[in-house]
Amino acid sequence: MPSVLVGEERLIPEFDRYNAEDIMEVCAGCHRIYGQGTLDGEYPRLAGLNPAYLARQIELFKTRKRINIAMLPFATDHELPPDDVRDISSYLASIELPRHMSTLDPAKEFDPLARLEESKKVTNIPHYPGDVEKGGRLYKQECRSCHGSTGEGRWDKMGPMLTGQYSNYLLRQIEKIRKGERLHDTPEDAELFRSYSDEDIANILAWLSHQDD
């Protein structure tokens, strides 16, 4: 059934959870079982992203307007027909990943298995080297309107979350946009990204990496 997440209204369309969990068994090979991605940022976090944004990226992979070698075998109408795209996109959007481990309750018996499972979900981005203050100013100048005041994402504008996403992954996507290998909003955005120095980009990533502390 539809869910509403905390913050601005974020409705998740109805989806078949059993079908989504079956699809997730394939996705987990790269993106891990809870859609948390990998610590090195090779595979991005998908959990908690706007389902419409996720569905849009799958469509771009299908039409080869966005190229990713690992996605080629799966981004087809045969492997991911429209109903499957809806189910997996909504399922991933519904996953909430904690930023820290919960505090142990001394009054309750310790459950090591439950603690282990909880630890797999924790996603807290390591601090990226850079000037956090300068990065915050740049972020608010150029990125805030689409990605939210703290990088949490704007579902109404299909701007994906940046806070909670791996810095190395974000850096690779920025480089692809700069080179024209990935579309941002418009082709002209590549020039905007090129106008920022590597130091500017590092500072923005540093600021973002502090937002989930």
CA angle, residues 57, 178, 80, in degrees to nearest 5: 15
* Contact between residue 79 and residue 36 where contact means Cβ atoms under 8 Å apart: no
What pLDDT score was predicted for residue 9?
Answer: 61
CA angle, residues 143, 75, 208, in degrees to nearest 5: 20
Across-strand partners of 154? 159
The CA–CA distances, whole Å, from 126 to 45, 98, 151, 166, 210 equal 14, 15, 16, 8, 8
What are 86-105's pLDDT values in tens digits?
999 999 999 999 999 999 98
What are 17-30's pLDDT values in tens digits?
999 999 999 999 99
What are 155-192's pLDDT values in tens digits?
999 999 999 999 999 999 999 999 999 988 888 889 99
**Model pTM?**
0.90
- Whether the per-residue pLDDT at 5 is higher than 90: the answer is no
Average pLDDT over residues 127-145: 97
Q: What is the mean pLDDT of the chain?
A: 92
What pLDDT score was predicted for residue 10?
Answer: 79
Q: All domains of the chain, ordered by start, with CATH?
A: 3-94 (1.10.760.10), 132-210 (1.10.760.10)
Average pLDDT over residues 126-154: 96
Percent of the chain exceeding pLDDT 90 equals 80
Across-strand partners of 11? 4
Whole-angstrom Cα distance, residue 11 to residue 141?
A: 28
What pLDDT score was predicted for residue 177?
Answer: 94
What pLDDT score was predicted for residue 8?
Answer: 52
Q: Which amino acid is at 115?
A: R
What pLDDT score was predicted for residue 23?
Answer: 97
